């Protein structure tokens, strides 16, 4: 009789393993950036709007800032765009855009249509800078401290929730100290 209960017992054990696995699953999708705590990678890009101007790592530092990697070909970028505009309106941090593997005309049209949340936008046409920044896929947003260090990184769309829970506390904690 009991031998017919064995499969059930085995399944119960398996369930324990699966539940633990599921609990730990979110950690696996987090890809920690090796850049966290280090200086922002140096880069120099020509400005999207004026090729004679450049956007570089010197535009970071001295104050809190965000670096946002985006492209007009990226669906999630469109989803996060309104939130970036919101952040710009709050005026707490400037946003530096890196327009990744994009067509300049498309990118300019996008910003004039949807609004421009960026202080400066560099055009990373061949994607070299994104490689230095360890970008997995657009959109990605980095928080840079006044000392020019990478403090936080978000893969995927910026939302009001992410901004308030992940980014704002980091800035506030540092400024109130």
Partner 1 sequence: MPIELAHFALILALMLAAAQAWFGLAGPALRNERWQATAPFAACGQFVFVALSVGLLIHAFIDNDFSVKYVAENSNSALPLFYRVTAMWGAHEGSMLLWILVLSLWTLALVSRLRTLPPSFGARAIGVLGIISFGFLLFTLLTSNPFTRLIPAVPDGNDLNPVLQDPAFAVHPPILYMGYVGFSVSFALACAAMIEGRRDQLWAHWIRPWAVMAWAFLSCGIALGSWWAYYELGWGGFWFWDPVENASFMPWLAGTALIHSLAVTDKRGLFKSWTLLLAVSAFSLSLLGTFLVRSGVLVSVHSFAADPTRGVFILAFLVVMIGGALVLYAWRAPLMKSAAGFDFISRESFLLFNNILLAIATAVVFGGTLAPLIADTLKLGTLSVGPPYFNPSFLVPAVPLLALVALGMHTRWKRGGLGTARRPVLIAFGVALVLGLALSLGVYMHPLPLTPVGAVVGCWIILAALIDPVARLLRRQRVPANVLGMSVAHIGLGIFALGITFVQSNTIERDIALKPGQSTQLGEYVFQYLGGGDVEGPNYEGYRGKVSVTRHGQTVATLFPEKRHYWVQGTVQTTAAIDPGLSRDLLASLGDDVGAGAWSLRVQYRPLIRFVWIGALIMAIGGTISVIGRRERSAVGERSTSQSAAENRA
Q: What share of the chain is helix, strand, coil (3-state, %, to 5)?
A: 45, 20, 35
Least Å from the CB of residue 124 to partner 1: 11
Cβ-based nearer residue to partner 1, 14 or 160: 14
Cβ-based nearer residue to partner 1, 144 or 157: 157
Least Å from the CB of residue 99 to partner 1: 13
- Distance (Å, whole) CA 85 – CA 118: 8
Least Å from the CB of residue 24 to partner 1: 6
Q: How many CB atoms lie within 10 A of CB 58?
A: 12
CA 166 to each of CA 57, 65, 75, 161, 171: distance values in angstroms, whole numbers, following the listed order: 23, 14, 22, 8, 10
- Distance (Å, whole) CA 88 – CA 91: 5
For residue 25, count CB atoms less than 10 angstroms from its CB and return exposed for 0-12, middle for 13-18, buried for 19 or more. Answer: exposed
Least Å from the CB of residue 8 to partner 1: 4
Kindly list the residues in this chain that would bind partner 1 in the complex (CB under 8 A).
1, 4-5, 7-8, 11, 14-22, 24-26, 28-29, 73-75, 78-79, 100-101, 127
Cβ-based nearer residue to partner 1, 86 or 175: 86
Cβ-based nearer residue to partner 1, 9 or 147: 9
């Amino acid at each position: 009789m009991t031998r017919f209960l064995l499969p059930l017992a085995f399944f119960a054990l398996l369930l324990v393993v699966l539940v633990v696995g599921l609990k730990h699953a979110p950690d696996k999708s987090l890809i920690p950036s090796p850049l966290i705590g280090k200086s922002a990678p140096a880069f120099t890009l020509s400005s999207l709007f004026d090729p004679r101007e450049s956007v570089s790592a010197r535009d970071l530092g001295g104050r809190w800032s965000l670096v946002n990697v985006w492209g007009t070909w990226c669906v999630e970028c469109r989803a996060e765009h309104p939130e970036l505009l919101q952040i710009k309106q709050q005026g707490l941090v400037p946003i530096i855009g890196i327009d990744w593997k994009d067509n300049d005309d498309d990118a300019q049209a996008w910003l004039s249509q949807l609004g421009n949340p960026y202080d400066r936008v560099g055009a990373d046409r061949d994607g070299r800078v994104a490689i230095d920044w360890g970008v997995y896929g657009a959109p990605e947003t980095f928080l840079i401290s006044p000392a020019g260090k990478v403090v936080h990184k978000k893969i995927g769309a910026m939302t009001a929730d992410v901004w308030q829970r992940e980014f704002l506390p980091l800035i506030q904690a540092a400024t109130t100290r």
